[in-house]
Amino acid sequence: MQRDLRDQLAVRRQDFDELKAEIRVLAEAQQRTEEVLRQLLEFQARTEKTLARLETRQDALVGDQLFA
C-alpha cells in the first residue's frame, strides 16, 4: 500500500523533461512578446512625434487664418 502510494506520487525524469520543455516554450513566447512590446513602444513614440508635428502645423494654419 505504502509502496503503491510512493510510486503514484513519484516524480519521474520524464516529468522533469516535459516540464523543462514547456518552460522553454514559455520562455520563447515571452521573448517574442517582449520584442513585440518594444516594437509597439517604438511605433507609439513615432506616432506621438508625428502628432506633435501635425498639431504644430494645425496651430500655424489656424493662426494664419486668424490674421488673414
Q: Is the pLDDT of residue 12 over 80?
A: yes
Q: Report pLDDT digits (tens) over 15-57.
A: 999 999 999 999 999 999 999 999 999 999 999 999 999 999 9
Q: Is the pLDDT of residue 13 over 70?
A: yes
DSSP state at residue 1: -
Given this model, what pLDDT does residue 38 score?
Answer: 99
CA-CA distance, 22 to 14, in Å (whole number)?
Answer: 12
More confident of the two residues 9 and 59: 59
3-state secondary structure 8-21: HHCCCHHHHHHHHH
Given this model, what pLDDT does residue 5 score?
Answer: 76
